[in-house]
Structure 1
Amino acid sequence: MTKAQEMQSIIKRYREETGKDSVDMHDVAKYAIGMGWPLPKPKTAIDRLAEQFSSAAREEIRKDEVTGKPYRANLAVTTWQGTEQMTLWTDIDVAPRYIAHRSFQQRREQTVGDVLQLTFDVMHWNRVNETEDPINMPTDFTDDVQWRMNEPDKKQSSA
């Protein structure tokens, strides 16, 4: 059994013992500690600071001087160095094509994976809840993207 499977078993046991369907993972963690589950090794200060810098890089938004549309200032590319996974950040305005393409492709793959899993989840819910109206979750985002691209800037319209 993998570590993740062991943890999933503890979550299931916690739900069964408490009778709760929706659970806070902090409560599950306390429950697991009470069962003797070892606490993970704490992150180093440098790891935590690096995560904070990654969050800051991910959140930086600039406006295109021609279109006025927002864009992410930094591109992330996940790569491997030996056996260690790492994320490299590049300013979008100086990124060579191969880095930009790789970053966009990785983000697209994440999106496809999320939509695929969402589709499986909806299919399952609909199957086990046959007496309910089925939930329809369209996966063509063309119209959604167009609507959002053309909606008024909320910051400007509320000023």
Structure 2
Amino acid sequence: METKHQKMQAFIRHYKNKTNEKEVDMHKVADMAAKMGWKLPKPATALDLLAREFSKAAREETRVDNVTGQPYRVNHAYKADSNGNLVLWIDIDEAPRGPMLKSAINRREQVVGDLVQLTLDLDHWNRVNPAEDPIEMENDFTEDVQWRLNGGDAQEDVA
């Protein structure tokens, strides 16, 4: 049985076939789907939208360390229940070790997951484009982190 996301993926392919577009605006895909009778999802409540805005604001807040002069992120999210439905936020300067460790592990796992998928994606692209120079990405970020900590610009080495 096809999942909802598999049906949506098939519809994206349908949209691309109908429009001959290679670079796809998902708003246009959604518009076509709605016109073809796809059921629109229940909109988020005003409270849900406000909570998302508060989460975004919390994620963006920084302070400067009064000893090192370096900025740090103030608010950190962590999953407070076993199924990940309850996410709580804590100020790093008030955080006990347990919640801070949970937050750090979660963020690290997100980075690792992104790197694994990027590696698989680039392996595939390189394989199906043998006439092109391969795209290679280093997964050891030790030097990148040190460069940034020392004031390096993230975009300096982009070709």
User: Does the pair score TM above 0.5?
Assistant: yes
2: CA distance, partners of 1:63 / 1:37 = 49
Deviation per CA, 1:113-138: give whole Å up to 9, x if none.
Answer: 00100000000000000111111111
What is the identity percentage for the equivalent residue pairs of Structure 1 and Structure 2? Answer: 56
> What amino acid maps onto 1:9 in structure 2?
A
1: CA distance, partners of 2:42 / 2:54 = 21
Which runs of 4 or more aligned residues in structure 1 lie more than 4 Å from their structure 2 counterparts after TM superposition? Answer: none
Query: 1:52 matched to which residue of 2?
Result: 53
Q: How does 1:64-143 map to 2 (within 5 A)?
A: 64-80=65-81, 85-143=85-143
TM-score by length of 1: 0.92
Q: How does 1:3-42 map to 2 (within 5 A)?
A: 3-42=4-43
> What amino acid maps onto 2:114 in structure 1?
D
Deviation per CA, 1:61-120: give whole Å up to 9, x if none.
Answer: 111100011111011002437x77121000100100011101000000000000100000
Q: Secondary structure in 2 aligned to 1:144?
A: helix
1:148 and 2:148 aligned:
yes
Aligned length: 152
2: CA distance, partners of 1:8 / 1:152 = 39
2: CA distance, partners of 1:38 / 1:132 = 42
> What amino acid maps onto 1:151 in structure 2?
G
TM-score by length of 2: 0.92
> What amino acid maps onto 2:139 in structure 1?
T
> What amino acid maps onto 1:57 in structure 2?
A
Deviation per CA, 1:3-28: give whole Å up to 9, x if none.
Answer: 00000000000001111111100000
Task: State the shift of 1:152 in Å.
Answer: 6.8
Unaligned runs of 5+ in 2: 154-159
Query: 2:157 matched to which residue of 1?
Result: none
Query: 1:156 matched to which residue of 2?
Result: none
What root-mean-square deviation, in Å, do the aligned CA atoms of Structure 1 and Structure 2 show?
1.5
Q: Secondary structure in 2 aligned to 1:123?
A: helix
Unaligned runs of 5+ in 1: 154-159
Q: Flag the 1:63–1:84 CA change in 2: closer, same or farther, 3 A.
A: closer
Query: 2:156 matched to which residue of 1?
Result: none
